[in-house]
Amino acid sequence: MIARIAALAASFLLLMFAPSALGAEQLEATPPMGWNSWNHFGGNVTDADVRGAADALVSSGMRNAGYIYVNIDDTWQGKRDAQGVIHPNNKFPGMKALADYVHSKGLKLGIYSSPGPKTCAGYEGSYGHEAQDAKTYAAWGIDYLKYDECSFGDIIERESHGDRRKAAEIEMHGYEKMHQALVATGRPIVFSVSSPVFYKVWEWGSAVGGNLWRTTGDIGDHYYSMATIGFSQAGLAKYAGPGHWNDPDMLEVGNGGMTEEEYRTHMSLWAILAAPLIAGNDLTKMSPETLALLTNKDVIAVDQDKLGRQGDRVWAVGPMELWDKPLSGGAKAVAMFNREDGATSMAFNLSDVGFRQGATLKDLWTGKEVHARNGSYAALVPAHGVVLLRVSQ
Ligand code: GLA
């Protein structure tokens, strides 16, 4: 396994220096931001929905806040023709025209496939057609591919005969194959490695060209799902950096299953995690509160900080957790999370996060400067809520 990872890493390095390869470091120097159809539209998404999302990204101000990708998830695929070329189904009359439309708005278009023969929703995958599909995507003007394991898992099971090491090798190879095919097109296409299950993806996602990789199962639009996924990311910070990000799944903000405080926790935790910010709500019917949560400039700046460091847990005491994230210029984002069902008073010492008395604190959700007393900061944190600060000396 180690030899295999080393070999993958070596081929990745070679790719980085090959003139045809736009290195992963150049793509997505900060975590990708955009919108994806799955969490709200699921299998019903149409061309009109995607155009509507693109229009709304512009009119709402989200594009200018950094949400650039418009990603079509599963269920766009139709049949392959006699030459094996994939065509969209009748929900998507023309992918090139759709890409042109999205590009005309100053946005980028993403698409979805699988290294297996079928996608998770049972549509056509790319197995055996990797190079052909990559060329088709490039010709359409696609800028981002989410590549989701799905039925490839069955192939891995069958071919590995229960040997975990072999399973991991086949899994990595499946992703590497598509990465090579994307690079060969000469078009920069962000590569999103989705939900592989046989080996810890954070240890190999970047070696197979992943700009981001799913570290968890699917998020659901309720606090316990979001919190379980988000807080489970402790310890993964060292695997993330410019061009290659851990992906704890897309946002549920605005989908209706959480309170405003819970969605605030969702945004804050994803920002601390330097997670991709891929909105998953219906952008054409967004409340002002949802828009405010998605576009808070200070919170986005934490996620998108150019240092590119993922944050981590500092301490946890029962349901209270303190997390921090290093920012450029020596500052830090610091989050006090309350996972309890009732409001609770929380405090931390500036020294817990590497600062001394006299540090400057800004509450990023109220926009106000706040003050530590005797080297510690205390606040009432709402049920399932957060206080998110920017601390600088
Ligand atoms: C998997 C992924 C989801 C979504 C669906 C589509 O479950 O994890 O994010 O893409 O497939 O079928």
Least confident of 9-23, 47-61, 63-77, 179-193: 9-23
CA of 148 to the centre of ligand 1 (A): 7
Q: Is the CB of 194 under 6 A from ligand 1?
A: yes
Cα 28–chain centre separation: 11
Q: Is the CB of 62 under 6 A from ligand 1?
A: no
Calculate the alpha carbon distances from 138 to 76, 84, 144, 187, 193 in Å: 16, 16, 10, 6, 18
pLDDT tens digits, 297-348? 999 999 999 999 999 999 999 999 999 999 999 999 999 999 999 999 999 9
In this prediction, residue 196 carries a pLDDT of 85
In this structure, what DSSP letter does residue 60 have? T
Q: Is residue 384 part of a domain?
A: yes
Q: Is the CB of 120 under 6 A from ligand 1?
A: yes
Q: How many CB atoms lie within 10 A of CB 249?
A: 26
Q: Which of 41, 195, 215 to mutate to test the pocket of ligand 1 (most atoms within 8 A of CB)?
A: 195
Residue type, 177: K
323 Cβ contact list (under 8 Å, min separation 6): 269, 272, 311, 312, 313, 314, 334, 335, 337
Whether the per-residue pLDDT at 15 is higher than 80: the answer is no
> One of 218, 312, 352, 363 is an active-site residue; which one?
218
Which residue has tokens 């309350």? Answer: 338
pLDDT band at residue 2 using 50, 70 and 90 as cut-offs: very low
Q: Is residue 298 part of a domain?
A: no
Q: Is 186 exposed, middle or buried (0-12, 13-18, 19+ CB in 10 A)?
A: exposed
Q: Domain holding 29: CATH number?
A: 3.20.20.70
CA of 74 to the centre of ligand 1 (A): 7
Structural domains counted in the chain:
2
Whose Cα sits closest to atom 11 in ligand 1? 120
End-of-domain residue from the set 179, 214, 249: 214
In this prediction, residue 26 carries a pLDDT of 63
pLDDT band at residue 112 using 50, 70 and 90 as cut-offs: very high
Report the residue count for the chain: 393
> One of 49, 74, 148, 249 is an active-site residue; which one?
148
Q: Is the CB of 38 under 6 A from ligand 1?
A: yes
Whether the per-residue pLDDT at 42 is higher than 90: the answer is yes
CA of 157 to the centre of ligand 1 (A): 20
Whether the per-residue pLDDT at 360 is higher than 70: the answer is yes
CA of 215 to the centre of ligand 1 (A): 13
End-of-domain residue from the set 194, 214, 234: 214
Q: Is the CB of 296 under 6 A from ligand 1?
A: no
CA of 120 to the centre of ligand 1 (A): 6
Q: Is residue 126 part of a domain?
A: yes
Atom of ligand 1 lying closest to residue 120 CA: 12
Report strand pairing: 386-392 vs 360-363: antiparallel
Residues 389/333, Cβ–Cβ less than 8 Å:
yes
| pLDDT above 90 as % of the chain | 92
Helix (H, G, I), strand (E, B) or coil at 346: strand
End-of-domain residue from the set 214, 246, 278: 214
Q: Domain holding 327: CATH number?
A: 2.60.40.1180
Q: Is residue 256 part of a domain?
A: no
Q: Is residue 24 part of a domain?
A: yes
Is residue 100 flagged as an active site residue? no
Nearest Cα residue to 212 out of 245, 238, 171, 248: 245
Is residue 218 flagged as an active site residue? yes
In this prediction, residue 230 carries a pLDDT of 98
Nearest Cα residue to 146 out of 228, 54, 75: 75
Whether the per-residue pLDDT at 268 is higher than 70: the answer is yes
Range of the structural domain that residue 107 is part of: 2-214
In this prediction, residue 28 carries a pLDDT of 87
Whose Cα sits closest to atom 3 in ligand 1? 218
Q: Is the CB of 77 under 6 A from ligand 1?
A: no
In this prediction, residue 48 carries a pLDDT of 98
Helix (H, G, I), strand (E, B) or coil at 322: strand
How many secondary structure helices (H) and strands (E) does the chain include? Answer: 12, 18
CA of 219 to the centre of ligand 1 (A): 10
Q: Which of 111, 145, 194 to mutate to test the pocket of ligand 1 (most atoms within 8 A of CB)?
A: 194
CA dihedral 371, 374, 375, 380 (to 10 degrees): -50
Whether the per-residue pLDDT at 44 is higher than 70: the answer is yes
pLDDT tens digits, 199-237? 999 999 999 999 999 999 999 999 999 999 999 999 999
Whose Cα sits closest to atom 1 in ligand 1? 120
Q: Is residue 264 part of a domain?
A: no
Residues 178/115, Cβ–Cβ less than 8 Å:
yes
Q: Give the angle subtended at the CA of 206 by the CAs of 122 and 277, to the nearest 5°.
A: 65
In this prediction, residue 6 carries a pLDDT of 45
Same domain, 11 and 155: yes
| CA gap 298, 300 in Å, rounded | 5
In this prediction, residue 20 carries a pLDDT of 35
pLDDT tens digits, 213-222? 999 999 999 9
Q: Give the angle subtended at the CA of 172 by the CAs of 188 and 271, to the nearest 5°.
A: 60
Whose Cα sits closest to atom 5 in ligand 1? 120
Q: Is the CB of 143 under 6 A from ligand 1?
A: no
In this prediction, residue 270 carries a pLDDT of 99
Mean pLDDT of 74-98: 98
Residues 362/298, Cβ–Cβ less than 8 Å:
yes
Please report which helix (H) or strand (E) contains residue 53, including its range: helix 47-59
Q: Is the CB of 247 under 6 A from ligand 1?
A: no
| CA gap 269, 266 in Å, rounded | 5
CA of 369 to the centre of ligand 1 (A): 41
Q: Is residue 123 part of a domain?
A: yes
Q: Is residue 239 part of a domain?
A: no
Whether the per-residue pLDDT at 3 is higher than 50: the answer is no
Whether the per-residue pLDDT at 149 is higher than 80: the answer is yes
Report strand pairing: 277-279 vs 33-36: parallel
